[in-house]
Amino acid sequence: MSRPFQRIAIVGMGLIGGSIGMALYQGKIAEEVVGCDLNVESLDLALSTKAAHRVEKDIVKAVKDAEMVILATPVRTYPSIVKAMKDHLEVGAIVTDVGSTKSWVVKELETLLGDDNPFVGGHPMAGSEKKGMEGADRYLLENAVYVLTPHDRTCRKALEKVKSMVQALGARSLVLSVEEHDKMVAMVSHLPHMVAVALVDTLGEVTKEHPSVTMLAAGGFRDTTRIAAGDPQMWYDIACTNRNLLVEKIDHFQSLLEKLKREILTCGQTIQGTEEPLKVRLQKARDLRLSIPGKAKGLLPGIHEVIVTVPDRPGMIGHMARLLGDQGINIADIEILRVREGDGGTIRIGFYQAHEAEKALQVLSQDGIIVKRC
Ligand SMILES: NC(=O)C1=CN([C@@H]2O[C@H](COP(=O)(O)OP(=O)(O)OC[C@H]3O[C@@H](n4cnc5c(N)ncnc54)[C@H](O)[C@@H]3O)[C@@H](O)[C@H]2O)C=CC1
Ligand SMILES: O=C(O)C(=O)Cc1ccc(O)cc1
């Protein structure tokens, strides 16, 4: 059967480019995926993990006869890449990207690409702090929100083609203006990253006085700072290309932190008949945080979960999967939370439907497995 795409070239076979390549190749979406990267080891890994049918270090060879080129390098590298490839693109070949910022990218690339090659800005809202082809995962973008940022002059045919690629990846496209996109990601992605960086920085300074403080850094510190381990070049490029909106959000955050500081300073000083401001704020934050869907990627509805305590017996996970499969219950997601060698561990199993989670609870507990809804 013929595949929806003939040849797609991906420039930057890293975490995101590699993951897209795997999904396009292994999901039989493109006849040929051509991977391009400056790093030869990434190209070798792309071949051996079926993220690309063919690899090229030379961008001109990589984009030859491609119907679509996906840019997946740090955003500030895009202009030089586009300059190097633009005279070698097929007329009508679509250029798209996965970059984390959009106003700067769309403006720069549309100026560089002529009318022969439509550009559609994109940004998959999934990823991790990992870097490179080593972290790539065929299912990384599955169910993720994938933002596309066309405008009035964007070629409709090109937009539809990119939408169909996003759908084939198992992601959900969401059309936003570049401004809406950059404002929202400044809040939900770029500000949290910089706050995580500042927290880690603070820890670094305190370490000078208390060298063993990192030993006390438990779940809370780890959860709130995981993203600070992200690639510095990528985040430098993001900060530079979304500077004003990010600074706006940092100001907003600072003013709330100031308020919080004042409320902490006056805590315990109750005014009769009113609830203490600090208590109100802590409660409001808890309620809002709990209302954000658990493991769902991006803006999708929440996944319904159960937590299972698994004894350390060979084949236990396979056994549970079989029990659920026999009842027609579809596992959406599975995650090992803790493992204790020789004792057991806990795993989280996610389902798309609440009734599937309820049924799983029943089926597993009837088999003597310790399981609870969460
Ligand atoms: N890391 C994440 O979670 C997410 C990243 N993004 C965006 O995706 C893009 C790629 O990020 P990652 O995949 O995380 O980075 P990465 O560091 O894993 O991969 C980037 C790859 O591009 C290659 N590269 C750099 N300059 C190049 C050039 N001039 N020509 C050819 N190859 C070049 C690097 O060797 C590397 O293999 C960035 O624009 C980022 O903003 C978007 C969503 C999530
Ligand atoms: O690691 C995480 O949780 C992320 O949120 C990763 C990420 C990084 C950059 C993006 O533009 C989008 C997603």
Encode pLDDT of 37-91 as tens digits.
999 999 999 999 999 999 999 999 999 999 999 999 999 999 999 999 999 999 9
pLDDT of residue 176: 97
Structural domain boundaries of the chain? Answer: 5-176, 180-265, 267-293, 304-373
CATH of 180-265, one of 1.10.3660.10, 1.10.150.530, 1.10.357.10, 2.40.30.70: 1.10.3660.10
Q: Where are the alpha helices (DSSP H) in 132-242?
A: 156-168, 178-185, 191-209, 219-225, 232-241
Residue 164 has pLDDT above 90, yes or no: yes
Please state the pTM of the whole predicted model: 0.88
Instruction: Give one DSSP letter per residue of 341-365, joined into a string.
Output: TTTEEEEEEEESSHHHHHHHHHHHH
Spatial contact of 301 and 293, defined as CB atoms under 8 Å apart = yes
How far does residue 69's CA lie from ligand 2's centre (Å)? 22
**Ligand 2 nearest-atom number relative to CA 226:** 1
Assigned CATH topology for domain 5-176: Rossmann fold (3.40.50)
Residue 126, sorted as left (phi over 0), alpha (psi -120 to 50) or beta, turns out to be: beta
For 66-110, give the secondary structure using H, E and C: CCEEEECCCHHHHHHHHHHHHHHCCCCCEEEECCCCCHHHHHHHH
Instruction: Find the mean pLDDT for residues 97-111.
Output: 97
How far does residue 134's CA lie from ligand 1's centre (Å)? 12
CB of residue 38 inside a 6 A radius of ligand 1: yes
Residue 338 token pair: 């803790």
pLDDT of residue 3: 85
Percentage above 90 pLDDT, the chain:
81
pLDDT of residue 294: 62
The CATH number of the domain covering residues in 304-373: 3.30.70.260
**Ligand number nearest to the C-alpha of 141:** 1
Residue 149 token pair: 């940022």
Measured CA to CA in angstroms, residue 226 lies from 73, 126, 192, 193, 296 at distances of 22, 15, 10, 9, 18
CB of residue 346 inside a 6 A radius of ligand 1: no
Residue 16 corresponds to which amino acid?
I
pLDDT of residue 300: 44
How far does residue 127's CA lie from ligand 2's centre (Å)? 5
The H-or-E segment that residue 265 falls in is: helix 243-265
Residue ID of nearest Cα to ligand 1 atom 22: 12
Distance CA 232, CA 239 (A): 10
CB of residue 122 inside a 6 A radius of ligand 1: no
Measured CA to CA in angstroms, residue 249 lies from 100, 128, 184, 210, 254 at distances of 16, 22, 10, 32, 8
Tell me the range of 164-168, 271-275, 289-293, 369-373 where mean pLDDT is highest: 164-168
Give pLDDT tens digits for 273-324: 889 999 999 999 999 999 987 654 444 456 788 999 888 888 888 899 999 9
**Ligand number nearest to the C-alpha of 181:** 2
